[in-house]
């Protein structure tokens, strides 16, 4: 057996829990798991779409063409209108998945905001891909500030239709995915002008390209914005309208409509939150699994990579070094918490989705707050974790052949898209302050995952410090919430307006508060999963949860220190506990990452393969799969030129 293969096999033999039990938790149900495994197999075995070692030498055009070839083939095997079928592709494709925006954003918005008649008109055409529609909200001049979008849709009572117009460069739609050249429709968000009055921003289903020629229609300017950091195969686009007429039924009319020349509203205006929830939920559900890919590569490589000798004059696997464990094991622990949180949020959003369809908005705000908190927290965590995985692989981590840089580029945009993280956190903080008021006046309105506000006095008494590590997360969150609430009240007593206080005086505190809530929510869900897990994996899951809590406490101890709630001895004990947990989790690390069951093709790696052999695969890819080694004529011409140089 090859020496590095033997190192991995030895590590696998030390795992003491059944990995298949964790696999069941990770993939929720048989349909999701079987679809994921089938997709991995198809992509690995189909020569025209399998992940290619030379991919990052290709031009952007070549990469885009290949992504559409993959989509065409995968469409033959799966129902890509079903998120269970196409969502796994996001983590195992090279490049982004075409039509993901259309299915994950536009279709849910159409379902939530359109009438039954409108959904029956357009919905079936999405399923057959007769329609691919971009979600055209963001403009050059405005992103998160939706209420100040500039594109206008002016109602014309004479012709009973709308005139869609882009009044300035800053009003041009900019960044929507699949707008550049794939979409033939767009869900355009524009200010409705009715009888000369601004009736707010509303969505309009707009055809932008000819069904036969795919060329832009008259009055429409549309195209691709160019290369970006990551998402190289996603055709993020620009879109402008020149007094472009669209029919009356273009406006999604479940909650806002124009009938007989009269404008009316129906239902909850915040329903637009519900449609955005679907895409944010997918970010939370899918992308921590891409961090798991990076962790799989880094941990396997850390076992097979041997550097420096020990007392027996044998080279150590770098995973044996405490500094390497410190890079990877806390992030591995958090990864499991993120995965479980993503699953729970999927369930919460699904429940909210069904309630909203029945015009029950009772869970809308809490679902939005939880989703916003974890979207912001997890998206940044995935990027940070991927970077630490890259660093843990030394020089080889820099190379695309490690598979890790691709994960970074594929996940970095999520920090900004589908709700910029800072804006998300501020919305969470606003809701936390609201539930604090509920606790004081109408405690029955406090949702379960915010029930910590009902026990403020007990938490601040700090009597549970020896019973639960999660207590310290709840204590930190509670202190920050009380402090920021008091700070706002004190500043309002000085005559400052709420908006002034919010924008100029407490922004940093609000951000920190929302982050602490995200950490606490992950802990709560972690504990739920441990309670319901198979007994054979309860111990390792509790160790992971404990490491997650300890690392979280040590990363943000200032609140506890400044409030006098923690002593130096307790902080020292947390550091010692962290090291103890390293010793317990390190032998299980290979089992923890391999429970995800990524095949080598999905990992896109030559340093983290299942059978080891990193050096052989590195050399093989460099010498046989690197098209740049075919020396271009320009190099030959240059070297043949006589140049006079002065040194």
> In the structure encoding, which two tokens stand for residue 393, read together?
């692989």
Hey, which residues does 315 pair with through a beta bridge? Answer: 309
> In the structure encoding, which two tokens stand for residue 151, read together?
């594109």
177 annotated to a ligand binding site: yes
Q: How far apart are CA 140 and CA 170, in angstroms?
A: 5
Residue reference for tokens 């899951």: 541
C-alpha distances (whole Å) from 293 to each of 287, 407, 598, 599 are: 10, 8, 7, 10
Residue reference for tokens 């027996």: 312
- Count Cα atoms within 13 angstroms, Cβ side, for 194: 17
- Count Cα atoms within 13 angstroms, Cβ side, for 610: 10
Rg of the chain over CA atoms, in angstroms?
Answer: 27
User: Contact 455/470 with Cβ under 8 angstroms?
Assistant: no
Please give the distance of CA 375 from its chain centroid, rounded to a whole number.
Answer: 6
Q: Choose among 475, 482, 474: nearest CA to 521.
A: 474
> In the structure encoding, which two tokens stand for residue 100, read together?
């993901």
563 torsion bin: left (phi>0), alpha (psi -120 to 50), beta (else) = alpha
Q: How far apart are CA 540 and CA 548, in angstroms?
A: 12
138 annotated to a ligand binding site: yes
User: Contact 611/5 with Cβ under 8 angstroms?
Assistant: yes
Q: For residue 254, what is the DSSP state?
A: S
Q: How far apart are CA 91 and CA 289, in angstroms?
A: 7
* Helices and strands, counts by H and E, the chain: 25, 13
Count of residues making up the chain: 647
Phi, psi of 182, deg, nearest 5: -85, -45
Residue 543: CB atoms within 10 Å: 16
418 catalytically annotated: yes
Q: How far apart are CA 11 and CA 588, in angstroms?
A: 8
Residue reference for tokens 């009438």: 115
Q: For residue 97, what is the DSSP state?
A: P
> In the structure encoding, which two tokens stand for residue 235, read together?
């055709």
| Cα-Cα end-to-end distance for the chain | 53
User: Contact 162/153 with Cβ under 8 angstroms?
Assistant: yes
Buried b (16+ CB within 10 A) or exposed e, 491-522: beeeeeeeeebbeeebeebbbbbbbbbbbbbb
Q: Which of 418, 458, 504, 519 is catalytic?
A: 418
Q: For residue 238, what is the DSSP state?
A: E
Residue reference for tokens 């690390």: 589
Give the annotated binding-site residues for FAD. Answer: 138, 177
- Active-site amino acid positions: 418
């Amino acid at each position: 057996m090859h020496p590095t293969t033997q190192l991995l096999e030895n590590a696998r033999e030390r795992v003491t829990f059944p990995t298949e039990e964790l696999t069941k938790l990770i993939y929720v149900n048989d349909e999701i798991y079987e679809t994921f495994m089938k997709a991995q197999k198809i992509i690995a075995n189909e020569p025209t779409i399998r992940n290619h070692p030379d991919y990052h030498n290709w031009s952007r055009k070549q990469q885009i063409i290949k992504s559409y070839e993959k989509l065409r083939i995968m469409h033959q095997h799966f129902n890509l209108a079903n998120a269970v079928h196409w969502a796994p592709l996001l983590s195992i494709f090279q490049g982004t998945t075409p039509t993901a925006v259309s299915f994950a954003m536009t279709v849910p918005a159409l379902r939530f905001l359109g009438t039954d008649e409108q959904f029956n008109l357009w919905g079936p055409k999405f399923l057959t891909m007769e329609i691919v529609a971009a979600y055209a909200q963001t403009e050059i001049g405005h992103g998160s500030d939706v209420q100040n979008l500039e594109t206008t849709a002016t109602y014309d009572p004479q012709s009973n239709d709308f005139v869609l117009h882009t009044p300035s460069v800053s009003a041009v739609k900019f960044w929507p995915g699949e707008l550049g050249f794939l979409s033939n429709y767009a869900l355009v968000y524009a200010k409705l002008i009715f009888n000369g009055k601004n009736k707010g921003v509303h969505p309009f289903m707009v055809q932008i390209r000819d069904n036969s020629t795919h060329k832009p229609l008259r009055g429409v300017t549309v195209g691709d914005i160019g290369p970006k950091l990551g998402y190289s195969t996603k055709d993020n686009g620009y879109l402008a309208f020149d007094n472009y007429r669209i029919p009356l039924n273009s406006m999604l009319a479940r909650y806002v409509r124009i009938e007989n020349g009269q404008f009316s509203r129906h239902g909850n205006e915040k329903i637009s939150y519900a449609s955005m929830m679907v895409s944010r939920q997918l970010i939370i559900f899918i992308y921590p699994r891409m961090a798991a890919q990076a962790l799989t590569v880094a941990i396997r490589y850390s076992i097979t990579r041997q550097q420096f000798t020990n007392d027996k004059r044998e080279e150590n696997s770098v995973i044996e070094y405490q500094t390497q464990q410190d890079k990877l094991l806390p992030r591995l622990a958090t990864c499991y918490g993120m995965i479980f949180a993503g699953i729970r949020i999927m369930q919460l959003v699904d429940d909210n989705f069904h309630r909203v369809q029945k015009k029950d908005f009772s869970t809308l705000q809490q679902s939005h707050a939880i989703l916003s908190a974890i979207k912001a927290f997890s998206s940044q965590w995935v990027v940070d974790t991927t970077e630490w995985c890259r660093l843990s692989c030394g020089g080889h981590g820099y190379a695309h052949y490690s598979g890790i840089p691709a994960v970074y580029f594929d996940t970095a945009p999520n920090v900004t898209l589908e709700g910029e993280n800072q804006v998300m956190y501020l919305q969470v903080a606003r809701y936390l302050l609201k539930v604090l008021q509920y606790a004081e006046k109408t405690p029955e309105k406090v949702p379960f995952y915010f029930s910590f506000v009902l026990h403020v006095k007990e938490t601040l008494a700090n009597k549970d410090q020896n019973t639960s590590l999660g207590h310290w997360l709840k204590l930190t969150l509670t202190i920050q919430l009380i402090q920021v609430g008091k700070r706002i009240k004190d500043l309002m007593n000085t005559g400052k307006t709420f908006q002034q206080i919010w924008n100029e005086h407490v922004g940093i505190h609000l951000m920190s508060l929302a982050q602490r809530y995200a950490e606490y929510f992950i802990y709560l869900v972690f504990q739920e999963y441990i309670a319901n897990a198979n007994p054979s994996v309860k111990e390792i899951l509790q160790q992971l949860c404990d490491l997650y809590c300890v690392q979280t406490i040590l990363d943000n101890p200032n609140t506890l220190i400044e409030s006098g709630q923690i002593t130096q001895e307790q902080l020292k004990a947390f550091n010692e506990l962290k090291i103890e947990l390293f010793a317990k989790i390190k032998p299980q690390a290979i089992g923890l990452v391999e429970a995800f069951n990524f095949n080598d093709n999905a990992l896109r790696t030559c340093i983290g393969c299942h059978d080891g052999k990193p050096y052989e695969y590195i050399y093989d890819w460099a010498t046989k799969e690197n098209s740049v080694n075919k020396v271009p004529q320009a190099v030959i011409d240059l070297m043949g030129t006589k140049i006079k140089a002065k040194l």
